[in-house]
């Protein structure tokens, strides 16, 4: 009588661990953010790739002839773009602020909203860009990854209210 109960309880405990492996959490998202930010500071596209889903997409929107144009880059296109961009600059600094993390009701995806400030120096000229980033996260093969990044460039006072 006790043995079936013990087996049932053990099965429930083990299944709880398995469920936790496919659920996204705030801590898992923050770990991915910290690791990918550190890789960006090192200008290491290969290290960033570890934290991107196989199906990762980067959506870039920009004004063009009075309209908003959109470009979608797949994982390898995005990594090649940032790697080539870093090669042409003298100095690079990267900072993330105003971070919000939200777990979706499904428990398997999450979103982050943050302000990313990049400072680059090219031929002795320092330029700053500030971007409100929206990223979506999920578990892939037992690890948290970024599946999409989008957002918009901020102008003027960029402090979120």
- Structural domains in the chain, CATH included, are 24-153 (3.10.450.50)
Residue-level pLDDT at 88: 87
Instruction: Of 143, 147, 118, give the one whose Cα is nearest residue 24.
Output: 143
Tens digits of residue pLDDT in 51-110 = 999 999 999 877 778 887 788 999 999 999 999 988 989 999 989 999 999 999 989 999
Closest CA to 128 of 143, 140, 115, 139: 115
Confidence class of residue 159 from pLDDT cuts 50, 70 and 90?
A: very low
What would the pLDDT profile of 114-136 be if each residue is shown by its tens digit? 999 999 899 999 988 888 999 99
User: Under DSSP, is residue 21 helix (H, G, I), strand (E, B) or coil?
Assistant: helix
pTM over 0.85: no
């Amino acid at each position: 009588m006790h043995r079936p109960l013990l087996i049932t309880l053990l099965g429930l405990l083990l299944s709880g661990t398995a469920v936790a492996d496919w659920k996204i959490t705030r801590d898992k998202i923050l770990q991915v953010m910290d690791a990918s930010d550190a890789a960006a500071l090192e200008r290491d596209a290969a290290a960033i790739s570890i934290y991107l889903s196989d199906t990762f997409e980067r959506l870039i929107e920009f004004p063009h002839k009075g309209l908003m144009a959109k470009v979608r880059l797949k994982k390898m296109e995005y990594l090649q773009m940032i790697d080539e961009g870093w090669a042409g600059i003298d100095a690079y600094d990267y900072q993330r602020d105003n971070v919000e993390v939200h777990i979706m009701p499904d428990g398997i995806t999450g979103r982050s909203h943050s302000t990313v400030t990049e400072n680059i120096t090219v031929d002795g000229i320092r330029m700053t860009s500030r971007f409100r980033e929206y990223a979506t996260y999920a578990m892939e093969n037992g690890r948290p990854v970024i599946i999409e990044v989008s957002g918009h460039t901020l102008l003027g006072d960029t402090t979120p209210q």
